[in-house]
Structure 1
Amino acid sequence: MSAPPRFDRGHTDDLMSFLAASPSPYHAVANTAERLEKAGFRQVAETDAWDGTSGGKYVLRGGAIVAWYVPEGAAPHTPFRIVGAHTDSPNLRVKPLPDSGAHGWRQVAVEIYGGPLLNSWLDRDLGLAGRLTLRDGSTRLVNVDRPLLRVPQLAIHLDRSVSAEGLKLDKQRHLQPVWGLGDVRDGDLIAFLEETAGLAAGEATGWDLMVHSVEPPAYLGRDKELVAGPRMDNLLSVHAGTAALAAVASSGTGPSYIPVLAAFDHEENGSQSDTGADGPLLGGVLERSVFARGGSYEDRARAFAGTVCLSSDTGHAVHPNYAERHDPTHHPRVNGGPILKVNVNNRYATDGSGRAVWAAACEQADVPFQSFVSNNSMPCGTTIGPITAARHGIRTVDIGVAILSMHSARELCGVDDPWLLANALVAFLEG
């Protein structure tokens, strides 16, 4: 049996390409599926009967993907090793009636998705991407990856208090981007996107669209030790999980575990959807995999009892300008290796037994790791980890990569941490 390839700096180069090519969850799962196809995986439809053959398979649903690899000879009760992540990021999303404007400006009506750092979207060249749903029920991806929109900030001459009192933005009034001049024309934006996608006028009857920064990811710093780019939260983990799953599948790993990648949508607004971690997608796929291999409910229960999930999401690196906001004894640093995220109030799902699983994977991969816990005075965020543990009864561990500027239109990580994470995920999936 050949060992899976170890990832290096080239993995981070590839991450930057993945980020640039994935301006929406729908593009992210399409790119993930394409990479898995090249590794020998095949798509299975949820509406079809599944067989119990070995090999790599995946299910697509909207902005979510679940992929798994069944080793030759895997028993129905073989437990799973899951890497969980999410494809969505906080941003501005187009409303059902998108055409708006005032005072000779043509604008696009947008709604706030998740919890973005609103100021990071100001005075930035923005594209528009997502999916169009057609009259026949099919979908078409669309990506205008050029300066199309802009949210202009008010000049300091008209807001003299901004420097002393800070920027104050009204989410309804101050964040509507401009995209041209003239009178507002209903249907104009969708007609433009139909033309861009090569569709006939009126063919698109539904849309899920969002803005994105068109500035490409880039190495940063004198020695290029950092990476600046969009949507690291959490496409960095989706990319690492995809690479790790493909590596394990190509290595001929034995039937100790069935490796799985579950990349959900809607984490940033609570995960309660048919493509979110709080929905039935993951549980349904895992159960059908057991039953397709001739398993019973008892086999399903045995498989779930031995299953472990790594909820991989970005976390907070210590900020040089705001160190007092962090726990004084836990200061994760970029390029210090991935982080183990702990919160005793179950905002993260990690416990001592989970820490041991993660420590063993990092030791096997020769990857250093760090611990993260929030300052007691500042409640931390949460992830898909507690949701996965509670919904499926699966032991779950929260891990990730430490970054700065989380939820900004453009985030910052270390150049080494993405490939260190991928190596640790390979070791975890192998068991």
Structure 2
Amino acid sequence: MPTVVIIGAQWGDEGKGKIVDFLTEKCDYVVRFQGGCNAGHTVVVDDEKYILHLIPSGILHKNKKCIIGNGVVLDPESLLKEIDTLIKKGVEIDNNLYIAKHCHLIMPYHIAIEEQSEKKKKIGTTKKGIGPCYTDKIARNGVRMIDLLYPEVLKNKIQANLEIINFLLKNLYNAETLDEQKIFSQYMDYAEKLKKYIDDVDIMINNAIDNGKNVLFEGAQGTLLDIDHGTYPYVTSSNTVAGGACTGAGVSPKKINKIIGIVKAYTTRVGEGPFPTEIKDELGEQIRQKGGEFGATTGRPRRCGWLDLVGLKHSARVNGFTGIAITKLDILDGIDKLKVCVGYKYGNTVLEEFPKELEILEKCTPIYEELPGWNESTKGIKDYDNLPDNAKKYLQFIEDSLKVKIQIISTGQKRDEIIIKEFPL
């Protein structure tokens, strides 16, 4: 039975939530392996919209084990709000949600320091403390989920970290300092509410795989936001690529069977950073409005552009996609001519590979191949044969360029607005 990793192939916001939700029907476990509440996965079920930030999208199916892995940085307040919202909508949480003991916690001082840091140098973070939490994790100063069950350990860690943080807030940023006792009491309250979800989830996941269960690993953000392989420093603070599923969930690479890349039919990006194929005229705004390209977490408008095959080839290589899913094909309906970036021009040089130097990428101009668009509506189509001929040619061009099979095509927001060319499980 397969273990499948779902990865965003661009700068995030590719529509991973819907694909995970769809595939969950055939899975037993869904594991979120990195990122924090800066992620926003939108799923529409029976005209009801669900926006999930930390809990795996599989929670919307009954009797699925949903796991938050150790690679996630977790904001307890955000998680509890999400749990409360889902319960009010009739979603079963207890006995379906598990959190890794060694998952790191976002603390109020992480949020405070990121807010101040972003004022000094803007890189487009969501100011939710994600980066500072990962910083403490790597510096071995982090607070972990299991610390909630050991009050003295928690108290000592808060005290030690606040000595440094409060010094920086006061002396570097001229900002208000934080109260140690207030934070401790707040997190003791979280401990009481969350302790029933804490477990040895890496053991649970490995046992599930060994017993032939279908396990789906769900990533947040996208490959071009990976801390190592993305457009650094305009990236997130975790490994969003397929390898992150192993470290973020505690499984061997030998146990991963398939890796599916989620590719939006065009390209979007939120926040700062280079974006070679960005469309800055009325068409870009038209795509934004039609595609609802506003952040599920922040509401920030997404920058919109043409499909970038240079970036996608980079994603296909570092992830090793066994298949891809194309989303939001219907948003391109009615555009006469579609452009696809097949290379970059940098000075007098043509680049076919995604440059690692930000200084080069910022000065690249896209080399486009133009493809005919289609006027017919693709919205809600569920059979590949019913797609317009030019839509098929567009998809075939992507498949041939990436040398990876397109297995799934999403033709709308709803759960059933989907084409299965080749079932990936």
Compute the TM-score of the two structures, normalised by the length of structure 2.
0.31
More strand per residue: 1
More helix per residue: 2
Compute the TM-score of the two structures, normalised by the length of structure 1.
0.31
